[in-house]
Structure 1
């Protein structure tokens, strides 16, 4: 293949893949990493106590993000076509965008003051959602099942 078929979906896949790896790094890094990345004191405390709960939750999130990266790369033509590709990309775009837009009610409810984690995570995820949505929109016809 010469050139990128869908640079926005490639970018979305890279972003989701990086987020997946970062979640795995939090498991390895332990309580300090959970605290640094804003997972909450409860998760960090559970990790300190040796509970499997933070590991299982974080591993679940990492797995979902890795699957989402696979869908982006499939949509970009870098991986074989995955089942329900269009539907998957639309749903992934919507989830990322809705999570990113949580920032708006958070700002309204809190009179413009939100926790740094809410601000930054919302802005970051909004970028992810825009990459997926733009890539899905621009590549819509090429994402159709082959007959």
Structure 2
């Protein structure tokens, strides 16, 4: 059953693009981590060949791909995934909390610039709003099945 929802398609595409951006960090190496604002400590660890930057980045990639799959499921593009409504609401909240709560987590990452925080929070807000509004539009259809 195809009941495409353009906002959930935007959410899926955005999450996949974010996953690709994180993969670029790994491929590009230390300069990729610097360019995307991951901080000097992550870049130095990548220079040293430490496992941590690649592992953390791959975990983020995996989570973003799962989020994209849930958006595609909610849009009716792929089969219905378990706990779909709950997951879509949760994913919306994760992105919106990251977007709006960046001031609270800034002190944990002092090397990241204000530009990084503003740009990444804006991106998270757009993705979160796409998930939230798309979920809202499809709420009734998501309750069936």
Paired position in structure 1 for 2:127:
128
SS state at 1:78 partner: coil
Instruction: Give 1:10 shift.
Output: 0.4
The TM-score with structure 1 as length reference comes to 0.89
Residues 57-88 of structure 1: CA deviation (Å, up to 9, x unaligned):
00000000000000000000111100000000
- The structure that is helix-richer by fraction is 2
Shift of 1:91: 0.2
Where structure 2 has 5 or more consecutive residues not aligned to the other structure, the ranges are 106-112
Stretches of 4+ aligned residues off by more than 3 angstroms: 103-106
2:38 is aligned to 39
Report the TM-score when normalising by structure 2.
0.90
Instruction: After TM superposition, give the deviation of residue 102 of structure 1 in Å.
Output: 2.0
Q: Aligned equivalents of 1:104 and 1:139: distance in 2?
A: 32
CA distance in 2: counterparts of 1:139 and 1:130, whole angstroms? 14
Tell me the CA shift for residue 8 of structure 1.
Answer: 0.3
Q: Which runs of 5+ in 1 are unaligned?
A: 107-113
**Structure-1 residue corresponding to 2:56:** 57
Residue 104 of structure 1 and its aligned partner are, at CA, apart by: 6.1
The aligned length equals: 139
* Corresponding position of 1:111: none
